Structure 1
């Protein structure tokens, strides 16, 4: 019986979502239990609006992703290029389902939240995976969960606490076929000797996302800065 493809992976959250060691260990333990890698692209796709933290201009994130990619097996993966590096908060909706007035209202509501949000630091931790990808773990989750709640409410979603469905991560490569996980598990263990990266997060972006040639591409529609005061 194959491994079902789910965006909620691992199925359960780590014991301490704000502790880098707890998150990394939990992610790796879950990855080492999968039965097989799946093809990331064997899913329907429609052009969509997404709330994202884009990392295409962050040199520390780019450097770590490339160092991790260098230890991965050379075939059956689609490496994520620097210009596509990102951390998804959540999908707002599909382009053909979201009228312009709903989009404008969501942006205004989320911008109000961002005005009260303080810029924060994130640890990017090498390396773990899911059935469809290899990815960096991230911590702390608290500021990301807060953003998830805000964009969910602005989009009219009525859902449970984000910890039941949201697993923050930064992808570095997508699995391009169904395959055995053992070589990738070995590679993730090797990558864990790399030092993590600490990056500063100061804005949220709304993008229009599409998929082409086994990569995601986007157009930035809104840049919402975090304007909350930093504690001395």
Structure 2
């Protein structure tokens, strides 16, 4: 799941990435692991468009919180451009992409039968910062940093109290 773009691969150098990693590390320290439902009915149907097919995820609130925290980490680093507003963001997991120009109707029609797939629940345990680029037929990436989350604290009282 892509959360935030910091800039073009041609304009973000390793020193800027290092500074974003430092800022993100501080911004993500308070984040606990959380669960997401992934699938065609989490918050809407499996969606198809002219360029992609994607699964919905729910709930959105922890994902949007991550985007806000990462956006704040980016804002500390000058020269990376403004953070894209998240008001219209619809968190999702892309499962297929197409670079070809095509009509959306056949794609939407083919995905209708997949809307009955079962939901899957997964635990989000970390965020990875990657350098991502697109080749002719695929996305490729190089991992730059991993930010692991804490286990959720379920009880903070004294044992026996």
Length-normalised TM-score, structure 2: 0.79
Q: Is the 8 A contact 1:114 1:227 kept in 2?
A: no
Aligned to 2:95: 172
Deviation digits for residues 122-151 of structure 1 (CA, Å, limit 9, x no counterpart): 111222123311111111111111111111
Aligned to 2:60: 141
Q: Is the 8 A contact 2:129 2:143 kept in 1?
A: yes
Q: CA deviation at 1:173?
A: 1.3
Q: CA deviation at 1:161?
A: 5.0
Q: CA deviation at 1:104?
A: 2.1
- For residues 112-131 of structure 1, the aligned pairs below 5 Å read 112-126=26-40, 127-131=46-50
2:86 aligned with 1:162: yes
Length-normalised TM-score, structure 1: 0.56
What is the total number of aligned residue pairs between the two structures? 145
Q: CA deviation at 1:105?
A: 2.2
CA distance in 1, matches of 2:9, 2:102: 33
Q: CA deviation at 1:121?
A: 0.7
Aligned to 2:78: none
Q: Is the 8 A contact 1:89 1:148 kept in 2?
A: yes
Q: CA deviation at 1:226?
A: 1.0
CA distance in 2, matches of 1:161, 1:173: 25
Aligned to 2:150: 227
Q: Which runs of 5+ in 1 are unaligned?
A: 1-86
CA RMSD, 1 decimal: 2.1
Residues 113-122 or 153-162, more deviating: 153-162
Q: Is the 8 A contact 2:38 2:56 kept in 1?
A: yes
Bigger radius of gyration among the two: 2
| CA shift in 2, pair 1:213/1:177, >3 Å | closer
2:14 aligned with 1:91: no
- For residues 173-188 of structure 1, the aligned pairs below 5 Å read 173-188=96-111
CA distance in 2, matches of 1:112, 1:132: 35
